[in-house]
Amino acid sequence: MIDKLPPSADGPVGQLPPQDWMQAAETRVVIAALTAEGAEVRFVGGCVRDALLHRPIRDIDIATHDPPERVMTLLERAGLRAIPTGIAHGTVTAVVHKAHFEITTLRCDVETFGRHARVEFTSDWAADAARRDFTINAMFCGPDGMIFDPFDGLADLGAGRVRFVGDPMQRIEEDVLRLLRFFRFYAHYGRPPPDTAALAACRAQAHKLPTLSGERVCGEIMKLMQAPDPASVLLLMQGERVLAEVLPEARAFGRLRILAFLEERGVVRPHIAPDPLRRLAAVLDVDRDAAAAVAARLKLSNAQTHRLVAMAAPERMPDPTMDAPAARRALHRIGAERFRDLVLLAWAERKAATGRTPPGETERWNVLLDHADAWAPVNLPVHGRDVMALGLPRGPKIGTVLDEIHRWWEDGDYRAGRKEALERLRELVARD
Ligand code: ATP
Ligand code: MG
């Protein structure tokens, strides 16, 4: 990962090579503003961890000695937008163009009540690292790339060990969300076997999970779902009696495993990205009501709820023997996005159930996805007013005629244009 430096008490352990995200103009102006009067700042958490693994950086967290009010002043003085996100907890967000930087004053916990820890600001980097959750999340990196690693996170990262900073029982007692974070980070960074002390602490405190808000549980589940193989971690959670407390409806582990495999391996064309909501739908074993209940519990938006219910408890599933007109009928009914979801889920379901794919079937599923890509929404080229213009009075008969012409248009694979459709309409009206 990096060239190691000789050990010293609290000095750097190595140096990251130049990083695009650190050299970016946005990052440089924020660092320049924060250090204008000599303060020492360091990158911390996810960006350091992911840079060490050469993974893409999502958001940038920065730690500083300065108290939040001073951070606000320094940013504003440099002409940058500063938002007092959580000023009491020491967090200020700097916004430069589209980039967001979370700047947090070094803290140490003095008392903790669940997530509402009473914190004090400190100038001690090690104390700040000690209140972070996992060793791999407690590393700092100076603007020059120097890595500081007070809890041996580097070795854990290399070995795929997700380890709590301090005693797992106590750290989960302080904040039970860390229990879910453990499985989320294990899914993304861990290699078996998982840390035994952590698992024992998770199992012992799983009963506290229902005290968490739906939003926070949802955030962790969605992030877990984005891991390469979420199914095996959900199975681990089930074994530790954790899953029953947050997602008892998750039972279709095989379907989720295959869906993730299809998405990750690009067996499906590359533009089909891993989708956490689709993955959630894949693992649920539910009817419509139960799917809606999961969505309500996780506080999903209306759009997400509709999509989850439509995926987890569909009225009809695509099947690989569907011909082109049948695929287009389904596309017309539910739209390309929903159809694509259902093709992937049906494909995963079938592969999970049969264990192997009959010859030619992969090709047929891909053809269905091609239809979805090629689909452009179409509208029936005639309307109620056309029927009335032919002399039919307002009333239920209009609806019957429209249904009939719709069926005719569908049977013709949506090819008929307005002219042909009007002709057909005349025939229908004349016939009655
Ligand atoms: P990502 O942003 O990729 O999900 P991250 O490590 O940046 O991962 P965040 O949730 O953004 O995770 O938190 C930033 C850092 O804050 C973490 O790396 C960790 O050091 C600390 N942290 C966040 N939540 C907690 C918590 N509940 N308990 C202790 N430390 C936490
Ligand atoms: Mg982060």
Residue owning tokens 């500063």:
82
Give yes or no for residue 111 having a pLDDT over 60. Answer: yes
Out of 61, 205, 213, 217, mutate this one to test ligand 1's pocket (max ligand atoms within 8 Å of CB): namely 61
pLDDT digits (tens, 9 = 90+) for 54-97: 999 989 999 999 999 999 999 999 999 999 999 888 999 999 99
pLDDT digits (tens, 9 = 90+) for 391-421: 888 888 899 999 999 999 999 989 999 999 9
- Could you tell me whether strands 60-64 and 99-105 are parallel, antiparallel, or unpaired per DSSP bridges? parallel
Find out whether the beta carbon of 56 lies less than 6 Å from any atom of ligand 1. Answer: no
For residue 284, the 8-state DSSP code is: B
How high is the pLDDT of residue 270? 61
Q: Find out whether 375 and 328 touch, Cβ atoms under 8 Å.
A: yes
Q: For residue 133, name the pLDDT band (cuts at 50, 70, 90).
A: very high
Both 206 and 267 in a single domain?
no
Ligand nearest to the CA of 185: 1
Find out whether the beta carbon of 175 lies less than 6 Å from any atom of ligand 1. Answer: yes
Residue owning tokens 């509208």:
379
pLDDT digits (tens, 9 = 90+) for 254-308: 999 999 999 887 666 666 778 999 999 999 999 999 999 999 999 999 999 999 9
Find out whether the beta carbon of 328 lies less than 6 Å from any atom of ligand 1. Answer: no
Q: CA-CA distance, 201 to 222, in Å (whole number)?
A: 23
Both 223 and 262 in a single domain?
no
Q: Find out whether 286 and 296 touch, Cβ atoms under 8 Å.
A: no
How high is the pLDDT of residue 238? 98
Out of 132, 134, 171, mutate this one to test ligand 1's pocket (max ligand atoms within 8 Å of CB): namely 132
Which residue has its alpha carbon closest to ligand 1 atom 21? 132
CATH code (residue 232): 1.10.3090.10
Give yes or no for residue 10 having a pLDDT over 90. Answer: no
> Structurally, how many domains does the chain consist of?
4
Find out whether the beta carbon of 61 lies less than 6 Å from any atom of ligand 1. Answer: yes
Out of 60, 133, 209, mutate this one to test ligand 1's pocket (max ligand atoms within 8 Å of CB): namely 133
Asked if the bond preceding 168 is cis, omega within 30° of 0, the reply is no
For residue 360, the 8-state DSSP code is: T
Both 243 and 253 in a single domain?
no
Find out whether the beta carbon of 178 lies less than 6 Å from any atom of ligand 1. Answer: yes
321: Cβ–Cβ under 8 A, 6 or more apart, which residues? 364
229: Cβ–Cβ under 8 A, 6 or more apart, which residues? 187, 257, 260, 261, 264
For residue 195, the 8-state DSSP code is: P
How high is the pLDDT of residue 119? 73
Q: What is the mean pLDDT of residues 99-105?
A: 96
371: Cβ–Cβ under 8 A, 6 or more apart, which residues? 324, 327, 328, 331, 339
- Could you tell me whether strands 91-96 and 81-86 are parallel, antiparallel, or unpaired per DSSP bridges? antiparallel
37 CA → ligand 2 middle, Å = 26
Take residue 118 and report the two structure tokens written for it: 């009473």
Q: Find out whether 375 and 354 touch, Cβ atoms under 8 Å.
A: no
- Give percent of the chain with pLDDT exceeding 90: 82
Find out whether the beta carbon of 177 lies less than 6 Å from any atom of ligand 1. Answer: yes
Find out whether the beta carbon of 180 lies less than 6 Å from any atom of ligand 1. Answer: no
How high is the pLDDT of residue 205? 98
Give yes or no for residue 162 having a pLDDT over 90. Answer: yes
Which among 83, 12, 4, 81 has a CA at the least distance from the CA of 43? 12
CATH code (residue 57): 3.30.460.10
Length of the chain measured in residues: 432
415 CA → ligand 1 middle, Å = 54
From 361, 377, 393, the end of a domain falls on 377
Q: Find out whether 23 and 33 touch, Cβ atoms under 8 Å.
A: no
Both 174 and 281 in a single domain?
no
Which residue has its alpha carbon closest to ligand 1 atom 30? 132
Ligand nearest to the CA of 184: 1
Q: CA-CA distance, 87 to 83, in Å (whole number)?
A: 9
Take residue 264 and report the two structure tokens written for it: 């990750």
Q: For residue 348, name the pLDDT band (cuts at 50, 70, 90).
A: very high
From 126, 159, 192, the end of a domain falls on 159
Both 260 and 332 in a single domain?
yes
Give yes or no for residue 5 having a pLDDT over 70. Answer: no
Q: What backbone phi and psi angles, to 5 degrees, belong to 15?
A: -135, 135
Atom of ligand 1 nearest to the CA of 178: 27
Find out whether the beta carbon of 58 lies less than 6 Å from any atom of ligand 1. Answer: yes
Both 23 and 120 in a single domain?
yes
Both 129 and 170 in a single domain?
no
Q: Could you tell me the residue range of the domain that residue 262 belongs to? A: 249-377
Q: CA-CA distance, 369 to 375, in Å (whole number)?
A: 10
Q: Find out whether 77 and 91 touch, Cβ atoms under 8 Å.
A: no
How high is the pLDDT of residue 351? 93
DSSP string for residues in 351-397? HHHHSSPPTTHHHHHHHHHHHHHH------S--HHHHHHTTPPSSHH
Q: Residue 85: in which H helix or E strand, if any?
A: strand 81-86
**Order of strands across the sheet that contains 3-4:** 3-4, 14-15, 146-148, 140-141, 41-44, 60-64, 99-105, 91-96, 81-86
DSSP string for residues in 93-119? EEEETTEEEEEEE-EEEEEEETTEEEE
For residue 266, the 8-state DSSP code is: T
Q: CA-CA distance, 414 to 82, in Å (whole number)?
A: 54
Q: What backbone phi and psi angles, to 5 degrees, belong to 314?
A: -75, 150
Both 59 and 172 in a single domain?
no
From 136, 159, 182, the end of a domain falls on 159
Q: Residue 146: in which H helix or E strand, if any?
A: strand 146-148
Atom of ligand 1 nearest to the CA of 181: 27
Both 276 and 347 in a single domain?
yes
Atom of ligand 1 nearest to the CA of 104: 16
In 284-360, which ranges are continuous DSSP H helix?
288-297, 302-312, 324-334, 336-354
pLDDT digits (tens, 9 = 90+) for 182-234: 999 999 999 999 999 999 999 999 999 999 999 999 999 999 999 999 999 99
How many C-beta atoms lie closer than 10 Å to residue 215's C-beta? 10
How high is the pLDDT of residue 123? 87
Both 124 and 261 in a single domain?
no
For residue 140, the 8-state DSSP code is: E
357 CA → ligand 1 middle, Å = 41
46 CA → ligand 1 middle, Å = 7
Average pLDDT, the chain: 93
Give yes or no for residue 359 having a pLDDT over 60. Answer: yes
Both 153 and 10 in a single domain?
yes
Both 142 and 19 in a single domain?
yes
